[in-house]
Structure 1
Amino acid sequence: HTDARGPEQQVNTVLHTEGTGLPGPPSLQDRLQVNYFPSLQTNLPIFKLKESCVRRRYSDFEWLKNELERDSKIVVPPLPGKALKRQLPFRGDEGIFEESFIEERRQGLEQFINKIAGHPLAQNERCLHMFLQEETIDRNYVPGKVRQ
């Protein structure tokens, strides 16, 4: 028999890396920053775009976490660590460009964004829509709910 509710509502986010669209270590742009590319596929009507992919840095994930934490109804998962905490002596970059660290962080960020994107309350937050679907994040935006 057919389900009267129609197709299952889904949201799927994958965090991939520098331009390839495939999982793997992000390229090291000028060896100064690591870029991540969260891509979204969804059939949820609340999202303006059914598919999107944007460039983000670790600090953008921190911004999203801080924005979501303003709303006490949403339990925001932790982000993976910022760096290797100087486990590599005599290196000025704190080990943030070690491939194993980059991949571990990518997996942690992917888990973070999947939990957030799949959270019914977070799906209504303007900051999540901006993070997943806008080319640039307007840090002066007015927090609020997205209306369908």
Structure 2
Amino acid sequence: MQPVISVWVRDPRIQKNDFWHAYMDYEVCLHTDSVFFNKKISRVRRRFREFVWLRQRLQANSMLMAQVPQLPPKNPFFSLNNAQQISERMAGLQSFLEQILLSPLLLSDSCLHLFLQTELSMTKMEACAAGKTRYSVVEAVQGCGVRRFQSLEDLQKDATTYGDSDSDSSESLNKVASDLMGIEQEPNVCCSSASL
């Protein structure tokens, strides 16, 4: 049986830097049973310029030994209020990641793992991948994990044991459980499996 790697780009949100400046970020979800990944389920938020950074790093690190796919084109007239533009960009970003995850050479790049499975900034991802941090790539990935995405049983145990304010209400618990168990049934979620 071949490993499966599924990735989703969804849940666009407008983030405000200040009164005049805003940007959009997206949730990037990864579910896998591949040996390439230590963490099998992860969710992070990334913005378009971080995808640009990832593509540049993959291109530089592969030294032209692998074809790095294109990102959706940057639109100078991109509007944070245009649903069609946002939907097209999300589809393009998801396609970009799906193509990357088909390449064993690109799958071995530590920048990809830091991008998909940590909340580190571009500067910190770059430093970690270069070995200039006190933590390794594996430690960064494992240290970034949120307990509630380990399994449904761990989530329920954490909610009763720790009384976590984000997890102790049944509504919140049910929401996370449905996210964990039924992510493919959610509306407007594109699902793809890439077999290596």
* TM-score computed with the length of structure 1 as normaliser: 0.75
The 5 A counterparts of 1:25-104 are 26-30=12-16, 32-70=22-60, 71=62, 72-83=64-75, 85-86=76-77, 94-104=78-88
* Gaps in structure 1 of 5+ consecutive residues: 1-6, 18-25, 87-93
Query: After superposition, where does 1:95-114 map in structure 2 within 5 Å?
Result: 95-114=79-98
**4+ residue segments displaced more than 6 Å:** none
Q: Which has the higher helix share?
A: 2
Contact 2:14 2:80 (8 Å CA) reproduced:
no
Among 77, 101, 105, the alignment partner of 1:117 is 101
Show CA shifts across 1:60-117 (max 9, x none): 100110001111112111111222x34xxxxxxx535422111111100000011112
SS of the residue 1:59 aligns to: helix
Conserved 8 A contact 1:117-1:128: no
CA contact (8 A) 1:41 1:51 kept: yes
Give the TM-score of the pair, scaled to structure 2: 0.58
What is the DSSP-based 3-state SS (H/G/I as helix, E as strand, rest coil) of the residue aligned with 1:8?
coil
- Other structure's SS at 1:121 match: helix
Across the two proteins, how many residue pairs are aligned to each other?
A: 124
Report the secondary structure of 1:56's partner residue.
strand
Q: Which runs of 5+ in 2 are unaligned?
A: 132-136, 139-196
- RMSD between superposed Cα atoms in Å: 2.1
Counterpart amino acid of 2:66?
A: I
